[in-house]
Structure 1
Amino acid sequence: MQVTSFMENEVAESPKIIKRQLQNSVTILKEISKRLQLNPPSFVATIARGSSDHAALFAKYAIESQLGIVTTTIAPSIHTIYKTKINYKNSLVIGISQSGKSPDLVESMAYAKKSGALTVALINENNSPLEKECEYCIPLLAQKERSIAATKSFIASITRIIQFIAYWNCDNKLKEDLIALPDILANQTLNYNKSNLNHLYTASHILVVGRGFTFPLALESALKLKETCGLHAEAFSSAEILHGPIELIKENFPTLIYVNNDATFTSIAKLIELLIQKKSIITIIGSKKIIQDFKLTKNKNIIKIATNNSNKLGPICNSVPLIYCFYPLVAQLAKLKGKNPDKPTNLNKTTITF
């Protein structure tokens, strides 16, 4: 394999980034939270694209499950292409972007603000056009990302979302979990044996599965497999697999499944049992305890990747070690396939939507 990529190095910066986030922006988080507590929004909308849109979906699951407020995604095209007028009065609109430069995002957030929304941007780069159009900006503090594939900025987006919700909902357990995250990540093994990668090296397609908080991780993983490895990957919620995608699963068909320590465990476990019956080659990413609970030690078709977390974290924060484990795996797979994970052939760091 080649030397360590920028992508792998940037993922490994995540513990320091989370510590930086915990030490900064507390004043602005408290200010926004106070406004939302005094005047709860009728609904929350997110506006984002690419990996940031996967972080936005994570925000939907987190806000709806913790605060009980309907959260939806607004497609920028509704504003930029269809020129539709939407009433954002008494809503919270969150824009998420690594660069803050995408014109469709900037235009959409400007419209939301003008239409009565409280607008909050989560952005990695300072002094961006998006920041100037929003009432509040919560910086991701991930610093410059040299790899084209977004990794540390995605993790920084979801940890900022968690931090935002912890303050808004006065959730001390969530705050404690965030404080514990850097040490958990710093002690995680990020180098994989070739045996963990061989089944993916020979694959021409793969199904990636999650549910609840891990469904956005599945979408993000499928995108990274496409971007860095040129591997056709599709992501589904485990709830949707029996609605058609199960027909794809034949003997030796590769699947990658995220398993969380929450109410989704039972349905995911049943799906894994079904995939074993169909002789799928399954990669499971979960905490050590969850991996042990499956009792799959001697099944040659099961590849187990355990996070350095014995279910100490709640399911929201537990999502972070799961994706933290995946990113180095996909970077190392790309190198094994002779590709440069830092510079996919057809991609640019800042994407301008047609």
Structure 2
Amino acid sequence: MSTSRMRAEIGEQPGALRRTLEGLLPRVGDIADLARETRQVLFIARGSSDNAAVYGRYLVESHAGRLATLAAPSIATTYRRKVDLDGVLAVAISQSGKTEEIVQTMEWAASCGARTVAVTNGHGSPLAEAAEVALLTEAGDELAVPATKTYTTQLAALAVLGLGLGADVDRADLDRVPDEVERLIAATEASPALPEIVGELARVPGAVVSGRGIAFGTALELALKIKEACYLHAMGLSYADLLHGPIAVVDAQTPALLVAADDGPTLPGTIALAERVRSAGAKAFTVGGGAGLAGAGNAALAGPDLPEWVAPLGLIVPGQILVENLARALGLDPDVPRGLNKVTQTD
């Protein structure tokens, strides 16, 4: 079978990340200047961009000490209610910059007193033009419907945003990301665990995908990709929420995919969850988490050798490759999932 466009774009991510970081790291000062007039952050997004926003939220709260929340765009576009957003930095995220709901919600936020930042791959787009500061990613054209390189470059932009907000992290960690993603692509495709996990997922109706903290957005994004490209039921949950009841759905026909950085405070809990899944007679497949998580699961894809705060920029990559392989194993075209378009307009 010929290489899919999705797979080609997965392979373009190291270059896209290099260009994006080169273009955006000099903007840290611009972000800092705008942020001085704010005290909390409101992320505005839908779809994969919303999953990127989850990463942004955890990064800002855990490392920059600012309250961060996810917006409900319907308050602006459907209920049309005003909210006091004085002191708020509104960060709107859209790969195209053309989704009317996101543009309208950012403009609404500004009218409510917020300062505005756009994260978009759409140079010259309505979103980029309307924001006070536009963080333009350099993913290039993305033709496959499932977002890959536009998603990881959004994460890169949000990492730069975190620096501008004063996050207590080592900026030099970002310099390692493109090479690590390049290494990870090759390592994932050579891993004997890849066909094993694909084969197992191809014979079940769905899976639970779980992570926590900074890796939670990765779990949500991987679940979305499984639903979009493979038409399987995939539930993305924080492992804390999973343990509150939905753990009952994990069984012989519903394996768990668990994601984690190789370090950080949520890793022990993810390892314990893998052990609990297996003790219940279900399969636990893991992405990242180092040797500890790999040893607790049935089959493992290695994650990036990156600190937790920046790990999501690489952690989703084995998941992307897994999804592309799974779609083809199911006889599906991962480039053009049914019922989806590259730009989705919502009311």
Normalised-by-shorter TM-score class: over 0.9
Does the alignment pair 1:322 with 2:319? no
Does the alignment pair 1:307 with 2:300? no
| Residue of structure 1 aligned with 2:346, choices 327, 333, 353 | 353
Q: Is the 8 A contact 1:291 1:304 kept in 2?
A: no
Unaligned 5+ segments in structure 1 are: none
Partner secondary structure for residue 310 of structure 2: helix
Q: Is the 8 A contact 1:15 1:186 kept in 2?
A: yes
Unaligned 5+ segments in structure 2 are: none
Show CA shifts across 1:261-293 (max 9, x none): 100011111111111101211110115xx2356
Q: How does 1:268-347 map to 2 (within 5 A)?
A: 268-287=270-289, 290-291=290-291, 295-296=295-296, 302-309=298-305, 313-347=306-340
Does the alignment pair 1:185 with 2:181? yes
- Give % identity: 32
Which residue in the other structure is 1:248 paired with?
249
Q: Is the 8 A contact 1:207 1:233 kept in 2?
A: yes
Q: How does 1:202-213 map to 2 (within 5 A)?
A: 202-213=203-214
Does the alignment pair 1:223 with 2:230? no
Which residue in the other structure is 1:34 paired with?
33
Show CA shifts across 1:233-257 (max 9, x none): 0011011112111111223531100
Q: What amino acid maps onto 1:218 in structure 2? A: A
| Residue of structure 2 aligned with 1:79, choices 76, 79, 96 | 76
Report how far residue 3 of structure 1 moved.
1.9
Which residue in the other structure is 2:148 paired with?
151
Distance 2:329 2:167 in 1: 46
Q: Normalising to structure 2: TM-score of the pair?
A: 0.94
Report how far residue 308 of structure 1 moved.
4.9
Report how far residue 78 of structure 1 moved.
0.6
Distance 2:197 2:169 in 1: 37
More deviation, 81-90/15-24: 15-24
Partner secondary structure for residue 302 of structure 2: strand
Show CA shifts across 1:140-181 (max 9, x none): 1111100001111111111111122124316561x2111011
**CA RMSD, aligned part only?**
1.7
Show CA shifts across 1:105-135 (max 9, x none): 1111111112221100001011111122211
| Residue of structure 1 aligned with 2:46, choices 49, 72, 84 | 49
Q: Is the 8 A contact 1:17 1:141 kept in 2?
A: yes
Which residue in the other structure is 1:235 paired with?
236
Show CA shifts across 1:33-69 (max 9, x none): 1332x43x23210110000001111111000001111
Distance 1:302 1:165 in 2: 35
Partner secondary structure for residue 324 of structure 1: helix
Q: Is the 8 A contact 1:307 1:321 kept in 2?
A: yes
Partner secondary structure for residue 236 of structure 2: strand
Which residue in the other structure is 1:262 paired with?
264
Q: Normalising to structure 1: TM-score of the pair?
A: 0.92
Give runs of ≥4 in structure 1 deviating > 6 Å: none
Report how far residue 349 of structure 1 moved.
0.5
Change (3 A) 1:96 1:177: same
Q: What amino acid maps onto 1:155 in structure 2? A: T
Q: What amino acid maps onto 1:348 in structure 2? A: N
